[in-house]
Each structure stands twice: as structure tokens, then as C-alpha cells.
């Protein structure tokens, strides 16, 4: 269970302080929780705060009742938090096998790697010795990022826009990954997404806008209001 109590995050530049997140409080113990809202609303910042990459200006964060606000990234990872980045990080010389090995915490066989890579539609034989460098396409890197989170199988997993750049692979498969991860690890899966199809599987939806929680509740309660919100102009609707 993840709990945020009055969490705020400010950045300051020369002139003033800018509040990216304002007084965020919520509890997550549902299976799938979607965080959505406009770009720049603070979604990725929230994910980074939970993973420990940035520290809140004020407020506390609890995982399974334990205060993790002052824990490092490493200690949070060890306490059971996984974070699939929106933009997968590229390395030089580090292979897919190395990364899965770090994720599971021990040496792995090709068969074991296959269990994770096949979930994201990649053949272990073709990918296990590939370097996670610029030669991989955005979609491939993204799927490997998801497979690593799958391999960790922690009680809390956060996916930041997992659907972005997933090229030929389908949404249906992505949703299966979340289901399998939940079967394996239990706990909660937080998915930051704009995609209606992903929002449709959420047990809970949190809408973040301008750094604040604009709406929060079950899918049935939140989605209708979200879709009615701010109608796109006709031209755009036609093209969509």
C-alpha cells in the first residue's frame, strides 16, 4: 500500500518558487491505478517522488505503513518499488541480459530471460546479448524497460506512459503484461497514461492537473467527467 500525505514539490529559479505538486494526499492499495491528466500536470514528477529520484519539499510518503520519505532510490527499490521510465535510459556496453540480471538480483539463464522478454513480445535469443544502446529502436527499448519491471516483480510498480512508442506491439499485450505482473507479484500497479484503453482497466483513476488532484475515484465515477472535459475543436475531433 502506498500512501502520500500532503506531499508538495517546489523548484526554485532566480525569480521565484514554482510549485509542481501541491498538497497531494492519497492512498493506493488497488490492483491497477491510473494517473492521468494534461501534459505538465505533474504526473511524472509524482512518479519520481515515489521512486525517490526527487525528494518532496514537504509531506511524507509511506509504503506498507513504513515512512520511506528519507530513503534513497536504492533503498526504495529494495523495499519493493519498481519504476519503468517514460524514456528508457541508453547505455554503452550494458546488455539486456545484464539489466535483467540486475533486476532479478542474480545471474539468469536464457530460458529465464525468455520468460520476461516473451511477455513483451521479444525473443530472448535475439535480444539477450544486445546492448541497450542507441541501436535499439524506441519501441524495443521501451519494451525492455517494461520487461525489467516485470522481472523485478515488486509489490509496487510504476509505469510512466508505457504505451508511448510501443510501435507494432498491441495495447492488448501491454494490458496482459500488467495482469501477469499482478498475478505474480500482487500489490499495486500504477500506470501513468493518457490512453482510454488503459484507463478502462483501472480500478482507480487519479486526475492530476496543475499539480493538484482534480478528481479521484473509481473508473466509473471519474472517466465520464474526464471524457466530457474540455472538448477538442471539431477539426481535431474529426482527425482523431
Partner 1 sequence: MDKITKELLEQVAGLHEIPVGAYNIRKDGELYGRNVSANINIVTKTDKPGIDIIVKDNTVNESVHIPVIIAQSGLKEAVYNDFFIGENCDVTIIAGCGIHNGGKDASEHSGIHTFDVGKNSKVKYVEKHYGQGEGTGERIMNPQTNILLREGSYMEMDTVQIEGIDSTKRETRAKLMDDARLVIKEKIMTHDKQHAETDFSVDLDGVNSSADLVSRSVAKNESTQFFRSEINGNAECHGHSECDAIIMDSASVTALPALTANNVEASLIHEAAIGKIAGEQLIKLMTLGLSEEEAEKEIVAGFLK
- Chosen residue from 1, 73, 115, 209 binding partner 1 by CB under 8 A: 73
Is 138 a binding residue for partner 1 by CB under 8 A? The answer is: no
Closest CA to 160 of 118, 193, 183: 193
Span from 29-37, 77-85, 121-129, 200-208 in contact with partner 1 (CB under 8 A): 77-85
What three-state secondary structure class fits 72?
Answer: coil
Query: Which one of 26, 62, 102, 171 is in contact with partner 1 (CB under 8 A)?
Result: 102
Q: Does 206 bind partner 1 (CB under 8 A)?
A: no
Calculate ∠ Cα 76-74-131, nearest 5°: 120
Q: For residue 203, how many other CB atoms are within 10 A of its CB?
A: 15
Dihedral (Cα; 240, 166, 133, 151), 10-degree rounding: 150
Question: Is residue 82 within a helix (H) or strand (E), and if so which, with residue range?
Answer: strand 81-84
Among 6, 27, 58, 72, binds partner 1 (CB under 8 A): 72
Distance CA 234, CA 138 (A): 32
Kindly state whether residue 89 participates in binding partner 1, applying the rule CB under 8 A.
yes
Please, which residue, 72 or 200, has the CB nearer to partner 1? Answer: 72
Q: How far is the CB of 7 from partner 1 (least distance, A)?
A: 19
Q: How far is the CB of 218 from partner 1 (least distance, A)?
A: 30
Pick the stretch among 2-10, 17-25, 28-36, 88-96 that binds partner 1 (CB under 8 A): 88-96
Backbone angles phi, psi at 147, to 5 degrees: -60, -35
Report, in this order, helix, strand and coil percent for the chain, each rounded to 5. 40, 25, 35
Tell me how far apart the alpha carbons of residues 96 and 102 are, in angstroms, rounded to a whole number: 10
Number of residues that bind partner 1 (CB under 8 A): 24
**Would you count residue 15 as binding partner 1 (CB under 8 A)?**
no
Interface contacts to partner 1, rule CB under 8 A: 51, 53, 72-74, 77-78, 81-83, 85, 89, 91-95, 98-99, 102-103, 105, 148, 152
Amino acid at each position: 500500500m502506498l500512501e502520500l500525505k500532503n506531499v508538495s514539490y517546489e523548484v526554485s529559479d532566480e525569480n521565484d518558487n514554482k510549485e509542481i505538486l501541491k498538497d497531494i494526499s492519497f492512498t493506493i492499495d488497488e490492483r491497477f491505478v491510473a494517473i492521468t491528466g494534461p501534459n505538465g500536470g505533474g504526473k511524472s514528477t509524482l512518479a519520481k517522488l515515489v521512486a525517490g529520484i526527487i525528494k518532496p519539499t514537504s509531506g511524507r510518503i509511506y509504503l506498507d505503513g513504513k515512512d520511506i520519505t528519507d530513503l534513497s532510490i536504492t533503498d526504495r527499490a529494495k523495499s519493493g518499488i519498481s519504476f519503468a521510465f517514460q524514456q528508457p535510459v541508453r547505455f554503452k556496453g550494458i546488455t539486456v541480459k545484464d539489466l535483467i540480471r540486475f533486476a532479478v538480483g542474480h545471474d539468469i539463464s536464457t530460458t529465464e530471460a525468455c520468460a520476461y522478454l516473451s511477455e513483451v513480445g521479444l525473443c530472448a535469443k535475439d535480444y539477450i546479448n544486445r546492448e541497450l544502446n542507441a541501436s535499439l529502436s524506441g519501441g524495443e527499448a521501451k519494451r525492455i524497460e517494461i520487461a525489467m519491471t516485470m522481472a523485478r516483480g515488486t509489490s509496487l510498480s510504476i509505469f510512466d506512459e508505457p504505451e508511448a512508442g510501443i510501435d507494432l506491439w498491441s495495447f492488448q499485450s501491454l494490458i496482459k503484461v500488467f495482469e501477469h505482473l499482478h498475478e505474480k507479484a500482487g500489490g499495486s500497479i500504477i500506470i501513468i497514461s493518457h490512453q482510454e484503453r488503459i484507463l478502462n482497466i483501472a480500478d482507480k483513476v487519479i486526475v492530476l492537473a496543475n499539480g493538484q488532484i482534480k478528481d479521484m475515484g473509481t473508473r466509473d465515477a471519474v472517466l465520464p467527467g474526464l471524457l466530457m472535459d474540455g472538448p477538442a475543436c471539431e477539426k481535431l475531433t474529426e482527425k482523431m
